[in-house]
């Protein structure tokens, strides 16, 4: 039996990640592809609750500490994610390690330091980056009250996502899987159509072993 595909949706705030993730789940289910949606941060776990309190400014944490908590939140769900893939179920993640790097590095933490804790996590087969200008994203009801939801921060985050895209395309850092950038300023249906074009080839499942993020050797 083929394993499920591991697909990640990334992007700036208000780029439509959650909207597109929900639309993609419906489309996959309609095509009889078993799929599990996983959101990061997963605010339901004990670590996720600490992250939630931080994002809502109910607690204050050192920048390094919150970065490691975001990564720990992925690690605590990594084994379950792998099991799901091996059971033949496609996993769709709404944000993943790339958000972790982009947001923490935009606060001034060293890029390589930010990347380190996520090394060896399951690597996605495909990352879909929803690209939108921060000023355009703001028109979608404006940013909310959480930390990071500021135009200047979003601008820096976009630059960091672009750096990752460049490195991944050149394969500078080893395994990351495929990366595709989609214009998220289009209407919802047009974005969904662009996403389906890159996802459809993965709907039969994957025969290759699950790789590890930023590492050359595969998971045994
Ligand atoms: N963070 C981090 O620092 N480190 C990490 O490791 C991780 C995350 C994983 C919370 O994340 C914060 O955590 C986030 C990054 C940081 N901080 N910021 N910024 P989150 O994922 O929980 O954040 P969120 O609150 O869910 O953000 P976003 O708002 O995710 O937006 P979205 O999911 O991309 O957008 P949406 O909810 O689908 O759509 C937003 C609105 O636009 C909504 O009214 C839609 O109806 C509308 N929309 C959607 N698509 C369209 C189109 N195509 N046209 C017009 N309007 C649209
Ligand atoms: Mg969202």
Q: What is the DSSP letter of 13?
A: T
- Answer yes or no: is pLDDT of 185 > 90: yes
Among 63, 95, 114, which residue has the most ligand 1 atoms within 8 Å of its CB, making it the best to mutate?
Answer: 95
> Atom of ligand 1 at shortest distance to CA of 149?
19
> Could you report the per-residue pLDDT of 95-131, keeping only the tens digit for each?
999 999 999 999 999 999 999 999 999 999 999 999 9
> Could you report the per-residue pLDDT of 153-162, keeping only the tens digit for each?
999 999 999 9
Which residues have beta carbons under 5 A from ligand 2 (an ion)?
17-18
> Could you report the per-residue pLDDT of 17-34, keeping only the tens digit for each?
999 999 999 999 999 999
* Contact (CB, 8 A) for 17 and 11: yes
Among 99, 105, 189, which residue has the most ligand 1 atoms within 8 Å of its CB, making it the best to mutate?
Answer: 99
Residues whose CB falls within 8 Å of the CB of residue 1, separated by 6 or more in sequence, listed in order: 88, 205
Closest CA to ligand 1's atom 4 = 100
Helix/strand/coil percentages in the chain, nearest 5: 50, 15, 40
What residues does each domain of the chain span? 6-214
Q: pTM higher than 0.85 for the full model?
A: yes
Distance CA 14, CA 137 (A): 5
CA of 40, nearest ligand number: 1
CATH topology for 6-214 is Rossmann fold (3.40.50)
Query: What is the model's pLDDT at position 141?
Result: 78
3-state secondary structure of 127: strand
Query: What is the model's pLDDT at position 217?
Result: 58
- Answer yes or no: is pLDDT of 167 > 90: no
Closest CA to ligand 1's atom 30 = 13
């Amino acid at each position: 039996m083929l394993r499920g595909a591991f697909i990640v949706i990334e992007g700036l705030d208000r780029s439509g990640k959650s909207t597109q993730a929900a639309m993609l789940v419906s489309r996959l289910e309609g095509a009889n592809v078993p799929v599990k949606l996983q959101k990061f941060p997963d605010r339901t776990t004990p670590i996720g609750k600490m992250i939630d309190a931080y994002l809502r400014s109910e607690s204050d944490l050192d920048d390094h500490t919150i970065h490691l908590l975001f990564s720990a939140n992925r690690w605590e769900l990594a084994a379950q994610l792998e099991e799901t893939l091996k059971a033949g179920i496609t996993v769709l993640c709404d944000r993943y390690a790339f958000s972790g790097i982009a947001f923490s590095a935009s606060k001034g933490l060293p890029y390589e330091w930010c990347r380190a804790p996520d090394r060896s996590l399951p690597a996605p087969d495909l990352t879909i980056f929803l690209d939108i200008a921060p000023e355009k994203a703001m028109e979608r009801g404006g940013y909310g009250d959480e930390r990071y939801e500021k135009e200047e921060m979003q601008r820096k985050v976009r630059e960091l996502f672009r750096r990752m895209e460049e490195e991944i395309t050149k394969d500078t850092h080893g395994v990351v899987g495929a990366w595709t950038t989609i214009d998220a300023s289009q209407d919802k249906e047009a974005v969904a159509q662009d996403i389906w074009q890159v996802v459809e080839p993965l709907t039969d499942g994957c025969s290759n072993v699950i790789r590890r993020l930023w590492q050359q050797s595969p998971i045994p």
